[in-house]
Amino acid sequence: MMPRAYPVGTGWIEVVTGCMFSGKTEELIRRLNRARYATQRVVMYKPAVDTRYAVDDVVSHSDARYPCRPVSSPAEMLRLVGDAQVVGIDEAQFFDETLIDVVERLANDGRRVVVAGLDQDYRGKPFGPIPGLMAVAEYVTKTLAVCMVCGSPANRSQRLVQRDDQVVLGASDTYEARCRLHWDPERFDAMQQSLPLDDS
C-alpha cells in the first residue's frame, strides 16, 4: 500500500484558520482556483450577513475575488450544492454549530470541502463552529498575520472599537492583527472610538 497525500475515492475537509489579516480568504480562493483550473465543479458559500466588500463575491482584504452564493444558514448549502465536487465556505465563524454536520455530510457525499474562518474572537475565545470543524477535518492550516505594533507573527485579532457584541463586521478600521504580547482585548483605540460605526 502506497501512502497518499490526499484521500482517493472519498471526500474530505480542509480548514484554513487564523486571525484577521492572516490570508485565510486568499488561501481559500487560491485552493478553489486550482480546483477550477483542474476543471472540477466548484461552488463557494459565505454568510449572507457579510456584505463588507460585495454581496455575490467572496473578497479578501487584498481584493482577491471569487463568485459565491450568500446563504443565511448551513442547511441552504445542502439544498444548493448540486453536482459540485469542491465546496468552499468563507467566514465560517458566522454560522452556527449546524455547519459542522453540514460539512460532514458534504464530505461524506464524496466532496472536498474547504472552510475558512477565524479561530478566535476578539477576546481570544474559540469562535463559533471553527473548533469543531478543526476536530473533524483531515487537514488544518493555521495562518499567521503580522503584528501591527511590532512586526512579529500575529495570531490574535485586536478590536479597535469598544462594542460588547461578539460579532462586529469590519476590516482595518475596526480590527488589527496583534501578537500575543501586544494583544489586549480590554484596550480600544481612542481615535477609532470617535469614528462612526454602522451597528446595523
For 11-61, the pLDDT digits (tens) are 999 999 999 999 999 999 999 999 999 999 999 999 998 776 777 888 877
Least confident span in 18-22, 66-70, 129-133, 157-161: 157-161
Cα(110)–Cα(119) distance, integer angstroms: 26
pLDDT tens figures, 148-166: 999 999 999 988 866 665 4
What pLDDT sits at residue 195? Answer: 41
Cα(65)–Cα(90) distance, integer angstroms: 12
What pLDDT sits at residue 18? Answer: 97
Report the side by side order of strands in the sheet with 42-47: 69-71, 42-47, 86-89, 112-118, 12-18, 139-143
Three-class DSSP category at 24: helix
**Cross-strand partners of 176:** 158
From the candidates 14, 27, 91, 176, which is the catalytic residue?
Answer: 91
Q: Name, in order, each residue with C-beta under 8 angstroms of 50's C-beta and a sequence gap of 6 or more.
A: 70, 90, 91, 94, 169
Least confident span in 142-146, 177-181, 190-194: 190-194
CATH of 12-144, one of 1.10.10.10, 3.40.50.300, 1.20.1250.20, 3.40.1190.20: 3.40.50.300
Q: Name, in order, each residue with C-beta under 8 angstroms of 95's C-beta and a sequence gap of 6 or more.
A: 47, 73, 74, 89, 128, 129
Q: Name, in order, each residue with C-beta under 8 angstroms of 49's C-beta and a sequence gap of 6 or more.
A: 94, 169
Q: What are phi and psi of 194, to 5 degrees?
A: -85, -10
**Cross-strand partners of 16:** 116, 141
Query: Which of 171, 169, 165, 173 is closest to 189 using CA atoms?
Result: 173
Domain ranges (residues) in the chain: 12-144
Question: Quick check: is 91 catalytic?
Answer: yes
pLDDT tens figures, 6-25: 677 789 999 999 999 999 99
